Amino acid sequence: MRRGLIILLITGCAVLLAATFVFGKINQAEDDRFISYVADCRTQNVAMYWRDERDKNFSTIENLRSSLAKNHRKLVFAINGGMYGPDHSPKGLFIEAGIVKSSLDTSSGEGNFYLKPNGVFYITKDAVPAICDTKSFQNRGTIKYATQSGPMLVIDGQMGPVFKQGSDNLNIRNGVGVLPDGRVIFVISKVPVNFYDLAAYFKSKGCKNALYLDGFVSRAYIPDKNWLQSDGDFGVIIGVTGTE
């Protein structure tokens, strides 16, 4: 009887391992809907851009890339960094190089930006990235870059309460999260997805907080992964640069 019990336990473990392997494969296949880029603000130059030296909107990733190249700076990653108005001015808070260029928006309204809670992605002058809900945001002169958007995808480790699994509200979407090790992960979907699935992806990476950036207009430039979307029509663009 003891031998039979041992055989039963071994068989059960084998089945469990096989199920885990298959489930892992399924999750991996689901992850293929997304492409991501991880940046370390402590060792990489992560910045936010809006207007060039002529005070003209960059608008496209290619315009930003070309402008940086003139100063011998290589764009190694870029993604649109939030919503914007008809004149391409940032929707809500935008801080660039320590200067507040658009104020925090705490009002209510229609559209994704106002799905509560919305939030702010920011980088301090000490190169520490963070994401918080709009009500919690404070600027004591220590913020180098910031962009506001909404809704929050993950809040204190929990997915946004308004998202529904299986929702047919599908779109190309992108967002940003902070990983447990303090690095930042930028994500864009390759195919239309709903808010729930995008939020679940960030949570699966261990992000305690993550913020939605924008929808169908979203583009990302990730040469290391041969993802080369350099067009667009944006307000804020988040970029990572190196030297040529």
Q: What is the pLDDT of residue 12?
A: 46
Which residues in 125-134 are b (16+ Cβ under 10 Å) and which e? eeeebbbbbb
Q: What is the pLDDT of residue 31?
A: 78
So where are the chain's domains?
1-32, 35-243
Which residues of the chain carry a pLDDT beneath 50?
A: 1-2, 4-30
Helix axes 195-204 and 2-31, enclosed angle (nearest 10) = 120
Structure-block tokens of residue 142: 């220590």
Cβ-in-10-Å burial (0-12, 13-18, 19+) of 105 comes to: middle
Q: For residues 198 and 196, what is the distance between their CA atoms, to the nearest angstrom?
A: 6
Who's near 203: CB < 8 A, 6+ residues apart? 154, 157, 159, 210
Q: For residues 50 and 81, what is the distance between their CA atoms, to the nearest angstrom?
A: 9
Q: What is the pLDDT of residue 10?
A: 46
Q: For residues 238 and 46, what is the distance between their CA atoms, to the nearest angstrom?
A: 7
Q: Which amino acid is at 89?
A: S
Q: What is the pLDDT of residue 24?
A: 40
Helix (H, G, I), strand (E, B) or coil at 70: helix
pTM for the full predicted model: 0.87
